[in-house]
Chain A
């Protein structure tokens, strides 16, 4: 079992709709959870982080964490073509070192 699992996609979503990206992790000692966006040919950039169970909103992005289910998700509301990218989920036990999933490729269809 991979430590951090994501659906590789591609996930296609119409412009203006909600994109839902999911991630599960195996280490129950994980304390910090991150979502990175990576455009083709570019390096990853941090878009959201969450430490506590529940929802965290930042603009059009909402991160959701359920530690009991070992599940973290990212919702993107009002999806735009510029949201087309690969989204990487990453988790940490709190020691600064991150373990990444393989990423979900998201395509927003105009």
Chain B
């Protein structure tokens, strides 16, 4: 089974801090995604990457950046955390023939105070 590991389950950060969320997958998948999930809004795509050093903006990229230096690792960066970035962040990966068959990480619940 594909394992998608997110480095932290819970994080509390202060407004203005730079925050790094890490995601590592162990199945050599090309495609990696970062979503945030909020009540009533569902999952919204922040950024995604189809290959090393490649990144594309999703639907809500403002206030975020990403890094993919190695195929297995996709990092989400909050340049200057704000309270409206308090959310559940989910990393997902897919590859192969099952288009869209995401495997999700366990999620990071980030609280910005």
Interface residues of A (CB under 8 A from B): 8, 32, 34, 36, 42-46, 49, 88, 90, 92, 94, 96-103
Contact = CB atoms under 8 A, between A and B. Distances in A.
Contact of B99 (A32, A45, A101): A32
Contacts of B98: 49
Given A43-B107, A46-B103, A92-B100, 15 more contacts: A43-B90, A43-B105, A44-B102, A44-B104, A45-B104, A46-B102, A49-B100, A90-B100, A92-B99, A96-B99, A97-B100, A99-B45, A100-B42, A100-B43, A100-B44
A96 B100 contact: yes
Contacts, number: 53
A25 to B, nearest CB: 13
B104 A102 contact: no
B100 A102 contact: no
A49 B101 contact: yes
Contact of A88 (B40, B41, B43, B100): B43
Contacts of A103: 42
Nearest to B104: A43
